[in-house]
Structure 1
């Protein structure tokens, strides 16, 4: 039942939530989720739906990827989504670990590497265009005035 609700809310063609809602809830655009979902499901059999020993269907791939992303996006504890998705705390934690390991495996060479010179030039140009010159040289942004900076960070 939680799979059907999840699909109706976010993934069906006439889903309850709009693209903007999806982005706010998942902290990514729907097409990025779909790309990640497809890659993860292709590489790791954990993210394919299986039957248990009694013949009942287990959690859907959408449920597994969603709970792991929500835990990462919001810093949610594993037991905070029990009633929504019906998984045990250990299943949440296993799912999160599986997703993290798979993301590293799939995207390490392209996205999780140190930036090369071409990447740095592109990032510097983008930062300068947005009014943050020298941002790469000073990632802590200490040179930037923030009038509403919390006093503990000043």
Structure 2
């Protein structure tokens, strides 16, 4: 009970229920805004499944002794897998849920190795947000830096996305 009255739950009127989760419009993605994704630890199983799914059969990712012989200290994760997991972490924030329209381009730089057992998180900073040439949409560029558990930057990429506009 709240005070003397009971709180009564009633069903909302038809059509008045907002979506469960709505992403940000390009107008809401302000230049300079920053957020960090949740973290994700990369496991041996993740590596094996990704290798099989994509067909990566390079000895660096299959043979720990070979990787050690060329200077690595553990089970190495392919850069394309780090990028894929980083994008998954960004999408799990729901910032783009229902508003993201297209991944248009990116550049990518790998700055440190990632190993099985490393935990990754992504820091996303909006660097540009502008209206598109037509329609109610915009072009948003972010700087995404992928950090390991020691907060070392292991990968950086700058995706350009087409994002819906507000009403």
Q: Which structure has the larger Rg over C-alpha atoms?
A: 2
> Per residue, is there more strand in 1 or in 2?
2
TM range (shorter): under 0.3
- Scaled by the length of structure 2, what TM-score is found? 0.24
- Scaled by the length of structure 1, what TM-score is found? 0.25
Structure with greater contact order relative to length (CA < 8 Å, sep ≥ 6): 2
